Amino acid sequence: MATVTYDEATRVYPGADVASVDKLNIDIQDGEFLVLVGPSGSGKSTALRMLAGLEEVNEGRILIGDRDVTNLSPKDRDVAMVFQNYALYPHMTVADNMGFALKIAGVPKSEIRSRVVEAAKILDLEPFLDRKPKALSGGQRQRVAMGRAIVRSPQVFLMDEPLSNLDAKLRVQTRTQIASLQRRLGVTTVYVTHDQVEAMTMGDRVAVLKDGLLQQLDTPRRMYDHPNNVFVAGFIGSPAMNLLEVPVTEGGVKLGSIVHPVKRDPLAKTGDKVIVGIRPEDLTPASEGGIPVEVDVVEELGADAYVYGRTDVGGESDKQIVARVDGRQVPDKGQTIHFVPKGEGDHLHLFDPESGERLGD
Amino acid sequence: MSAVPTKTPQPGAMPQEKGKRDRGELGILISSHIVLIAWSLIVVLPLLWTVFSSAKTTGEIFSGPFTMPHDIIGTLKDNFSSAWNDSHLGRYLLNTVIVVGIALALVMALGSMCAYTLARFPFPGSRAIYYLILAGNTFPIFLAIVPLFFVLKNVGLLNSLPGLILTYVAFAFPFTVFFLYPFFRALPAEIGEAAELDGAGDWRTFVQVMLPMARPGIAAVAIFNFLGLWNQFLLPVALNTNEKNYVLSQGMANFASSAGYEVNFGALFAGVVITVIPVLIVYIIFQRQLQGSLSAGTIK
């Protein structure tokens, strides 16, 4: 068990002009579950592979504990990885797959067996130890891949989208299992995913990457409540936050026909326009006044419903808006509803239209 | 949903259509089996005829090529002992096993290592090397006979088994690499990386992880090489003229030609049986692996 430090770590692929991972700085604490999340091409997998030693670090350093592992080969780093496609050895039994690393390390056979059986117990794999991966279901294969990592009791677990090949139901189930297993074992874990729900539900902290640059590193709660910029605001949360470019007026921002009050300080830093971010659950229907929304689609989820509609706001026409409404009072398609933000602007996020950075706290 | 227009068959029309399809399938089944039976006969009958003829005397063969042998055990014994001892087929069989066995082991070891390296480790010039090896496939062996003769003569390996082994290795190498290259290329990179993280070095990754995964391809090319080298005639005739070092194909040719009109055909057929049996045994052993190679693409 150990801390992990990315210190200005940079990876430029040969022949590429732009760095895939650009001066990444992350301090991961001992036993922490850190999730790297971002859209495809954001460099999250590359960052993980740099830590694994599968990808060269062109600049900067990577430390595991106090050890500088930047130039160490993967086998000398004491890390175990779970791959997206599991990468099980197809010609070996489950037990051999899990014990392969120990066998190479020269651990006595009896000890390998006992450690494999112990890991198999944790993962409910005991009946399958003598099977080949071919004879296992997707979920079982995923657990073997996990088992292969656990058996080694490494300093760091690396997981590269380990759930993306499972069906939706199993994914949700396994998500919880992995998170609780990690808490139980207390091994520092770096987890890569493109799914922001996984990021929010599993991580102690979440790092959002885009184009190789770290956008924000925070707890899921803080990430949701205080996105650092427009990208994080739009990426974290499902359905995504509404981002509207609206005029700044005396005393607040103009949302359709009303002026919504916001604090003066943040607005002082921007010009006559500002990007307002409102989460779907922070919008509420009003009898009149506010943002007029023409309803396109209503997604009913039982308790709640999401209203997808279009509006003309701040000079933009047909801008899509998502709002959460009571599942028992659902509007009809084609109907026009007025929405206003809930409360006094404390759930409103303000961003600079030029830089996209957050204004205020 | 009910508005979606679908072609619903009338009740009662279903069984009829099904019957039609069944008849069509039955027709295909019958005709394909007729073709398969005919094909099997074409392949099996000459083999059976050879085996039967090896239990007949020359006179019997000429008087009734398709009659049953009279004294199976006795003639069989005579023919096989004549082929084995008088024509030195036993010695030639041993030579062939040595030459083909060692050459096959060498070419499989070298070929798989070469294909693995070319397929998985890009280095400057690797493509050029690969294409050069591919070009070796297209080179007609006839053109190389005379130069090969002089090369072997100059290094003092002409008419020797090691010389023939070396030649066989070089002869089979390009095809082996050509055939194994896509197998190694298709193996998922993550498995190599997983082995690396598990602490396996390059050599262990190759031997314990990659090689077993490419086993269907290796079995297929091994059996192909075995057949090709076992039946090789041109190279030994040109490069291995010492009768002591003859391989089976040379021995059989010698057997048929040296006796002029006095050929002991019963013994000749016995010789053919001796030549064929090892090939059959090898094929039966590798058959399961070969079937694996056909379905390997579907296993994820």
Q: Mean pLDDT of residues grouped by 10 in chain A (361 residues)? A: 91 92 94 95 94 94 94 92 92 94 95 95 93 91 93 94 92 92 93 93 94 95 93 92 89 84 78 90 87 91 92 82 90 89 81 90 72
| CA–CA gap between residue A125 and residue A193 (Å, rounded) | 25
Q: pLDDT (tens digit, 9 = 90+) per residue, A234-253?
A: 999 989 999 998 888 887 88
Calculate Rg over the CA atoms of chain A: 24
B197–A74 C-beta distance less than 8 A = yes
Architecture of the domain delimited by A4-230 = 3-Layer(aba) Sandwich (3.40)
- Report whether A131 contacts A93 (CB < 8 A): yes
Judging by beta carbons within 10 Å of its beta carbon (0-12, 13-18, 19+), is residue A287 exposed, middle or buried? exposed
A81–B194 C-beta distance less than 8 A = yes
Q: Give the amino acid at A335.
A: Q
Packing angle of the helix pair A138-151, A109-122 (nearest 10 deg): 130
Chain B residue numbers with beta carbons less than 8 Å from the beta carbon of A148 are 194, 198
pLDDT in the model for residue B8: 46
Chain B, window 189-208: residues with a beta carbon less than 8 angstroms from a chain A beta carbon: 190-191, 193-201, 204
- Report whether A207 contacts A35 (CB < 8 A): yes
pLDDT in the model for residue B89: 86
B262 contacts: CB under 8 Å, gap ≥ 6:
none
B16 contacts: CB under 8 Å, gap ≥ 6:
none
Q: Which two tokens stand for residue B51?
A: 């085996």
Q: Which two tokens stand for residue A85?
A: 């496609």
| CA–CA gap between residue B206 and residue B200 (Å, rounded) | 9
Digitized pLDDT (tens) for each residue of chain B, 300 residues in all: 344 444 444 444 455 555 666 788 899 999 999 999 999 999 999 999 998 888 888 888 888 888 888 888 888 888 888 888 888 888 999 999 999 999 999 999 999 999 999 999 989 999 999 999 999 888 888 888 999 999 999 999 999 999 999 999 999 999 999 999 999 998 888 999 999 999 999 999 999 999 998 888 898 899 899 999 999 999 999 999 888 999 999 988 888 887 666 778 888 888 889 888 888 888 888 777 766 554 443 334
| CA–CA gap between residue B94 and residue A240 (Å, rounded) | 77
| CA–CA gap between residue A181 and residue A123 (Å, rounded) | 9
Å between A72 CA and nearest CA of chain B? 12
A90–B299 C-beta distance less than 8 A = yes
| CA–CA gap between residue A193 and residue A47 (Å, rounded) | 12
As for the ipTM of the complex, it is 0.84
| CA–CA gap between residue A145 and residue A133 (Å, rounded) | 10
pLDDT in the model for residue B110: 96
A100–B200 C-beta distance less than 8 A = yes
**Other CB atoms within 10 A of residue A346 CB:** 10
What is the DSSP code string of chain B? Answer: -TTS---PPPTTHHHHHHHHHHHHHHHHHHHHHHHHHHHHHHHHHHHHHHHHHTTS-HHHHHH-TTSPPSSHHHHHHHHHHIIIIIT-HHHHHHHHHHHHHHHHHHHHHHHHHHHHHHHH---TTHHHHHHHHHHHHHS-HHHHHHHHHHHHHHTT-TTSHHHHHHHHHHHHHHHHHHHHHHHHHHS-HHHHHHHHHTT--HHHIIIIIIHHHTHHHHHHHHHHHHHHHHT--HHHHHH---GGG--HHHHHHHHHHHTGGG--HHHHHHHHHHHHHHHHHHHHHHHHHHHHHHHGGG--
3-state secondary structure of A121: helix
pLDDT in the model for residue B84: 85
Could you tell me how far CA A282 lies from the centroid of its own chain? 22
Instruction: Please name the member of B190, B200, B215 whose beta carbon is closest to the beta carbon of A104.
Output: B200
pTM of the model: 0.80
User: Domain coordinates of chain A in residue numbers?
Assistant: 4-230, 241-359
Paired residues of A285 in beta bridges: A339
Name the residue among A85, A82, A113, A83 with its Cα closest to residue A99: A113
Q: Which two tokens stand for residue A329?
A: 């009072």
Å between A273 CA and nearest CA of chain B? 48
Architecture of the domain delimited by A241-359 = Beta Barrel (2.40)
Instruction: Please name the member of B194, B199, B204 whose beta carbon is closest to the beta carbon of A87.
Output: B194
Q: To which residue do tokens 């499902």 refer?
A: A238
pLDDT in the model for residue B259: 67
Q: Using beta carbons and an 8 Å cutoff, which residues of A are at the interface with B?
A: 52-54, 73-75, 79-81, 83-85, 87-91, 100-101, 104-105, 134, 148, 152
